[in-house]
Structure 1
Amino acid sequence: MTLAKLFALIQYPLPHHALSRLVGRLADCRVPWIKDLAIRAFIRRFGVDMNEARQPNPSAYASFNDFFTRPLKEGTRPLGEDLVSPADGTLSRFGAIEARRLIQAKGHEFTVSELLGGDDDTAFRFHGGSFATVYLSPRDYHRVHMPLAGTLREMTYVPGRLFSVNAATTRHVPRLFARNERLVCHFDTEHGPMALVLVGAMIVAGIETVWAGQITPLPRSGVQRIRFDTPVHLEKGEEMGRFKLGSTVVMAFAEPVDFVPGERERKVQMGENLGGLSKPAQALSSEKPESEGQV
């Protein structure tokens, strides 16, 4: 048995949520010597480049969480053309959504419907589209931005486990991104529907959005859907949310994306061009063809 598989297996019996909430409370500690010690140790351990931060002085942050979600200096992440990366991280997987499935890792797939919280009708809209997954490591910038301009249509909270989302766990825990707690944000764009899925992970203290503040953890169980009658429009590159500790963003597009050629598992930065969507999307039929089954 490999160390990677062992690491994945020992996570199953762990109290994911209790550990994550405990870490969240510690990360929000505002005792100066405690938070300064934690921040400086983290910078040394992960080689964080504070020269990019709007506030480069580690002691100036009120808590570890404030440091972790720090903003960058203006102009640090210029926007590329067409579809851009929503975050700094590793572009782990990307490609076409085939047979209504997304690839997690070699030998592991999950359906669009599972990812979106069991919404078959919405999942059908992404049939024939594309997806991309960006993993944010602890050292990365942890604000999430819009890969395309869009108008928020619905937000869905999906409860679940909190497995780690690093490469080792992704290779050994089936349907990982469809099992973990996550926030699904549905946008209308000029290229059709776009879903940004912010996936929670072990010791991630919370997920925030710019329109509703901190969303996770929620005290109630069950899938919760919130529709927005008042439009929330965000331009490409505008911040839409953030993670309190590292996690993953899964993007799903209704239209095919012509991705920039390159290897998987490569580092990307927020604003970096990922590919192009050549033309505005055509209106999708609201009815499924008779040959289609459940998504």
Structure 2
Amino acid sequence: MMTVSVSPLRRALARVGAQEDLNFLLTNRLPRRLATRFMGWFSRIEQPLVRDLSIATWRLFCDVDLSDAREARFPSLHAAFIRALRPGARPIAADPAILTSPSDAILGAHGRIEAGRLLQIKGLSYRLIELLGGDAQLAEAHEGGSYATLRLTAGMYHRFHAPHDLRVESVRHIWGDTWNVNPIALKRVEALFCRNERAVLRLRVAEAGHAVTLVPVAAILVAGLRLGFLPEGAALRRTGGQTLPCTARLAKGDEMGWFEHGSTIVVLAPAGFTLLPDLTEGRRLRMGEPLMRLPPAAQAG
């Protein structure tokens, strides 16, 4: 009787494992940079037949909803990827005690930053200082704080927005690889977020002096990151990893930038910030929905 019940389970697990191995092989064992450059070129082709077939293929393999887009038609696949939303499509939680999700996303690993480490996925952690490109002072500022990993899938809205009234203090681009950031890759590649190309955006929220950091992480087919508030945003890779001072002020919900496909944003907050208790891994969030609660002193400010 035990053999009859366990054998189908083993076969099912084996099939899942084989599918995950194939997914990992197809999305990571090809020339990632070459594939990403090709996709960047191909997606910008503004030929109607190429555009229509590309968008149709994209919608076939991804859960894409263009009903809330500002435009009804797009000149290219790339334009559809980076679409803007029609006004009012994403209500913003106005409560000043709330830090909102900067993007549409699936909530991944989240919790408290302890001993300088964060979970990448259950059972696998990475060092915060490595994610931040060796910035020990910034890593220390977030010790004991909260973090949330927000994964943007290929079909999601790809722009990200200010999670609170804030000023941007600095931006730093960190060169890296373009591993896929889906759960299959997260289980197989140690410290994946610390390997990929990314940017570190240092923010101050609510005029209370609290440091919040956003780390947008690029991925295969995605490694284009644009920051609308920064003149150098169109050429971050040319900054050579320098920290770029910034004085931009943004209101809650203002657009900050966009990915050119889909990827991940790691949200880092200092001690005193708490994640909303009803948030669970795998939950789909929309930009502007509550993510964290500010410390009481910050709320009073």
TM-score (norm 2): 0.85
Give the aligned partner of residue 75 of structure 2: 62
Q: Do residues 76 (structure 1) and 94 (structure 2) align?
A: no
Distance 1:96 1:44, change over 3 A: same
* Cα distance between partner residues in 1 of 2:27 and 2:59: 26
Letter in 2 for 1:214: A
Tell me if the contact between 1:79 and 1:271 (Cα under 8 Å) persists in the aligned partners. Answer: yes
Q: Would you identify which runs of 4 or more consecutive aligned residues in structure 1 move more than 4 Å?
A: 9-13
Q: Do residues 132 (structure 1) and 166 (structure 2) align?
A: no
Greater mean alpha carbon deviation, residues 269-278 or residues 256-265: 256-265
Give the aligned partner of residue 6 of structure 2: none
| Secondary structure class of the residue paired with 1:172 | coil
Alignment map for 1:192-211 (pairs within 5 Å): 192-211=210-229
Deviation at 1:65, TM superposition (A): 1.2
Identity across the alignment (%): 34
* Cα distance between partner residues in 2 of 1:99 and 1:239: 33
The structure richer in helix per residue is 2
Letter in 2 for 1:77: R
* Cα distance between partner residues in 1 of 2:155 and 2:26: 24
The aligned length equals: 274
* Cα distance between partner residues in 2 of 1:23 and 1:128: 40
Tell me if the contact between 1:138 and 1:246 (Cα under 8 Å) persists in the aligned partners. Answer: yes
Give the aligned partner of residue 186 of structure 1: 202
Q: Do residues 276 (structure 1) and 293 (structure 2) align?
A: yes
Give the aligned partner of residue 50 of structure 1: 66
Show CA shifts across 1:160-205 (max 9, x none). 1110001111122111111110011111123511111110000114
| Secondary structure class of the residue paired with 2:295 | coil
Q: Do residues 266 (structure 1) and 283 (structure 2) align?
A: yes
Give the aligned partner of residue 153 of structure 1: 169
Q: Do residues 119 (structure 1) and 135 (structure 2) align?
A: yes
Distance 1:54 1:248, change over 3 A: same
Letter in 2 for 1:203: L
Give the aligned partner of residue 290 of structure 1: none
Q: Do residues 226 (structure 1) and 244 (structure 2) align?
A: yes
Deviation at 1:54, TM superposition (A): 1.2
* Cα distance between partner residues in 2 of 1:124 and 1:144: 26
Unaligned runs of 5+ in 2: 1-13
Unaligned runs of 5+ in 1: 282-295
Tell me if the contact between 2:109 and 2:122 (Cα under 8 Å) persists in the aligned partners. Answer: no
Give the aligned partner of residue 15 of structure 1: 31
Deviation at 1:40, TM superposition (A): 2.7
Alignment map for 1:249-260 (pairs within 5 Å): 249-260=265-276
Give the aligned partner of residue 158 of structure 2: 142
Give the aligned partner of residue 92 of structure 1: 108
Alignment map for 1:28-43 (pairs within 5 Å): 28-43=44-59
Letter in 2 for 1:209: L
Give the aligned partner of residue 260 of structure 2: 244
* Cα distance between partner residues in 2 of 1:8 and 1:47: 20
* Cα distance between partner residues in 1 of 2:63 and 2:268: 31
* Cα distance between partner residues in 2 of 1:266 and 1:124: 29
Letter in 1 for 2:168: L
* Cα distance between partner residues in 1 of 2:162 and 2:51: 31
Tell me if the contact between 1:96 and 1:256 (Cα under 8 Å) persists in the aligned partners. Answer: no
Which of the pair has more CA radius of gyration?
A: 2
Show CA shifts across 1:144-171 (max 9, x none). 1111221111111111111000111112
Tell me if the contact between 1:5 and 1:169 (Cα under 8 Å) persists in the aligned partners. Answer: no
| Secondary structure class of the residue paired with 2:67 | helix
Distance 1:122 1:258, change over 3 A: closer
TM-score (norm 1): 0.86
Deviation at 1:15, TM superposition (A): 2.4
Distance 1:34 1:12, change over 3 A: closer
Deviation at 1:130, TM superposition (A): 0.9
* Cα distance between partner residues in 1 of 2:163 and 2:217: 17
| Secondary structure class of the residue paired with 2:281 | coil
| Secondary structure class of the residue paired with 2:296 | coil
Show CA shifts across 1:9-37 (max 9, x none). 67665322121111101111112221222
Tell me if the contact between 1:20 and 1:203 (Cα under 8 Å) persists in the aligned partners. Answer: yes
